[in-house]
């Protein structure tokens, strides 16, 4: 499963930038609708488009690996062999 870690990245950037970052600010700057951003914040498994991920990385000045987290759905092949 791939998880969108938007809330964590926003919090980290707020601390780093020393100010509050609002959903409206991100929406206005990135062109991503506020509704889509709210969905990404509420549903960590939201099926985000690569275009949205690119825009978020550009605005938040982060790498894709900071924005996404992957966990296997099923045990890995090594776990099955044991």
pLDDT single digits (tens) 24-40:
999 999 999 999 999 99
DSSP-H helix ranges across 1-82:
6-17, 23-30, 34-42, 50-60, 64-67, 77-81
Confidence of residue 46 (pLDDT cuts 50, 70, 90): very high
Q: Which fold has domain 2-81?
A: 434 Repressor (Amino-terminal Domain) (1.10.260)
Kindly state the tokens that stand for 24. Answer: 């409206």
Q: What is the pLDDT of residue 74?
A: 79
Task: Give percent of the chain above pLDDT 90.
Answer: 85
Per-residue pLDDT at 8 exceeds 70: yes
Q: What is the pLDDT of residue 39?
A: 96
Name the residue ranges covered by the structural domains of the chain: 2-81
C-alpha atoms less than 13 angstroms from C-alpha of 5 in its C-beta half-sphere: 18
Beta-ladder partners of 70: 2
Token pair 């996404």: residue:
68
Q: What is the pLDDT of residue 73?
A: 86
The answer to whether the beta carbons of residues 4 and 42 sit under 8 Å apart is no
């Amino acid at each position: 499963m791939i998880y969108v870690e938007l809330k964590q990245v926003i919090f980290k950037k707020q601390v780093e930038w020393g100010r509050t970052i609002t959903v409206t600010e991100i929406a206005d700057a990135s062109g991503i609708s506020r509704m889509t951003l709210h969905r990404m914040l509420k549903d960590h498994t939201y099926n985000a488009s690569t275009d949205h991920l690119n825009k978020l990385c550009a605005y938040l000045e982060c790498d894709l690996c900071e924005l996404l987290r992957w966990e296997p759905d099923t045990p890995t092949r090594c776990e099955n062999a044991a």
